Structure 1
Amino acid sequence: MRGVALAGLTVAALVAACGGAGSYTSVVDKIRNAGRVVVGTKWDQPSLGLKTGDGPPEGFDVDVAKYVVKYLARGRHVQITWRESPSSAREVLLHNGSVDLIVATYSVIPSRRPKVTFGGPYIVIPQDTMVRASDTSVKKVTDLRGKRLCLAEGSNAYRRIVDPPPNGKLSLPMQLVPAANYSDCVRKLAAGRLDAVSTENLVLAGFAEQEPGRFRLLNDPVSNEYWGVGIKKGDTATCEAVDQAVAAMWHDGTATRLLRRWFGKTGLKLPSSLPAPVGCP
């Protein structure tokens, strides 16, 4: 019987070591005690989260995630598994445990907060609009009245333009053209299948830099958007640790350095200060 009991203890230890369900009280606990974490990012957004070939994704959000994980781990080595997290799947991936953290242009908005705990935000940026450079008829957002706007699956950015307050800003009548994601939006914009793509200016600038001279940002902000680190609802310990990591990232100059690295040549006015945290309910 003693041998059976010891065998049972060994199996239990192995399950805990491998990170079975319920093995860790929080993501920060998993990072510090298991030395591994699954991070969701975009894989199709240049300069933010772009995966090419067999390597890991690269971009500003990816580098922010690396900094946050290292901070949470208190400097010890952590194995990061990267998982693609499109806008339409972010809440589901967090809820079912497929990812531990999401750093993927994830705007902190009221409709998401009942489903997701947000660390940060780590950056505040304006929502802008991009059109084809050849379309000289559009100088400002209101010139798009009656034209075709991209509706990226899982994103709420279009609402700032077409909805009335309080959810929207302009209540502008437009034709909405569905797309799988923002890279699909940009392809359709280039092909003339829609007239404008509207989302955070860093997202648009990344796409515009890929094909210089083909697209144009209006530089006509619609709203300010707050990007946070997505965490499974209720994981307050990890949220509080992420808030500390974000503050450190700004205080030691890393946030500014990363923004300059990825967007310094865009001509955009880049964020320069730590955003106020939204809190960890």
Structure 2
Amino acid sequence: MHMRRMGAVLSVAAMATGLAACGGGETYATVADKIAGGGTVVVGTKWDQPSLGLKKGANPEGFDVDVAKAVLKEMNGGKDVPVEWKESKSDNREPFLANGTVDIIFATYSITESRKEKVTFGGPYVIAHQDVMVRKDDTSINTPQDLVGKKICKASGSNSYKRITDPPPDGELDLDATTVDAASYSECIQKLGGNNLDAVTTDDLILAGFAKQAGGNFKVLGQGFTDEKYGIGLKKGDTKTCEAVNKAVQAIWQNGTMKQLVDKWFGGIEGLKVSQEAPPAEGCA
């Protein structure tokens, strides 16, 4: 009798726990479902890239941060979505999506064929171009081809250096340059300022933000030589959210929101050319 009563108590306790889990609304099949259910969306951004994603105070700010807010709001019928911001560096973006540390990533995340094997990409929402930044007084580097024999930065998790040092299809220019390791692009900029590097090469939007922050100590060559399609990273297979994201991106281009954000963060930067219309979506396969 005692054992039967114990079993009944345990059974009721298990049921209560199950109802609490289901009623708490903590588990969603897709990010789109989470938004529809009023859940807090964990958004990965960079925290060390001026004008794109830079941690100031409690939260990051920048172009990618504002694009994330605008896309999520559009997906939610014009209502703001509660967000938790999570720093997502170049080398942890794929693991963070795979293990659920973040729900979605807006972090200068170029769409590439190799990354598509691990990530479902929405977008692109803008197209950047790889360029080169040097110290303002350096007259020896005027084109990307002048990087032969020079020291360039190799930021952890980024493929940008390969565009300089490797041949196609993975690379671009196939130049004999020396790479210097760094944990992030902010460290690359420190090394450039300390004369430990000759150049930093990555997307022009990233370089423009750092150049603006440095107040004239560096110059961007203004000779972009690739198309970098900035995508919105999702866990592999989340095509429902991807399709919703693509509709939202088109909408914020059409209603003028994207142009306002481009002008806000990159307006007036010499030599920088940002696309003025929505790039075609890559598809959600």
Pair 1:66-2:62 in alignment: no
TM-score (norm 1): 0.94
Q: Residues of 1 paired with 2:155 and 2:192: CA distance?
A: 12
Q: Is the 8 A contact 2:41 2:82 kept in 1?
A: yes
Aligned residues: 278
Q: Is the 8 A contact 2:69 2:80 kept in 1?
A: no
Deviation at 1:136, TM superposition (A): 0.8
TM-score (norm 2): 0.93
Runs of 4 or more, structure 1, over 6 Å off, are 1-6
Greater Cα shift, 1-10 or 37-46? 1-10
Closer/same/farther in 2, CA of residues 143 and 234 from structure 1, 3 Å limit: same
Greater Cα shift, 5-14 or 191-200? 5-14
| Residue matched to 2:121 | 118
Q: Is the 8 A contact 1:148 1:195 kept in 2?
A: yes
Unaligned stretches of 5+ in structure 1?
none
| Residue matched to 2:4 | none
Pair 1:30-2:34 in alignment: yes
- The amino acid across from 1:163 in the alignment is D
Root mean square deviation, CA, Å: 1.6
- The amino acid across from 1:272 in the alignment is Q
- The amino acid across from 2:264 in the alignment is R
Closer/same/farther in 2, CA of residues 76 and 253 from structure 1, 3 Å limit: closer
Unaligned stretches of 5+ in structure 2?
1-6
Q: Is the 8 A contact 1:18 1:34 kept in 2?
A: no
Q: Which of 238, 260, 264 is the aligned partner of 1:261? A: 264
Closer/same/farther in 2, CA of residues 166 and 69 from structure 1, 3 Å limit: same
Deviation at 1:138, TM superposition (A): 1.0
Q: Is the 8 A contact 2:133 2:221 kept in 1?
A: yes
Q: Residues of 2 paired with 1:108 and 1:77: CA distance?
A: 27
- The amino acid across from 2:218 in the alignment is F
Q: Residues of 2 paired with 1:209 and 1:77: CA distance?
A: 30
Deviation at 1:2, TM superposition (A): 8.7
- The amino acid across from 1:36 in the alignment is T
| Residue matched to 2:49 | 45
Matched residue of 2:110: which SS? Answer: coil
Larger radius of gyration: 2
Kindly report which structure 2 residues correspond to 1:202-217, keeping only aligned pairs within 5 A, or say none.
202-217=205-220
Closer/same/farther in 2, CA of residues 262 and 5 from structure 1, 3 Å limit: same
User: Could you list the per-position Cα deviations for residues 144-196 of structure 1 after superposition, in whole angstroms to 9, with x for gaps in the alignment?
Assistant: 10110100000001111110011111100010000001000000000000111
Q: Residues of 1 paired with 2:254 and 2:96: CA distance?
A: 31
Q: Residues of 2 paired with 1:17 and 1:116: CA distance?
A: 30
| Residue matched to 2:18 | 12
Deviation at 1:4, TM superposition (A): 6.9
Greater Cα shift, 140-149 or 7-16? 7-16
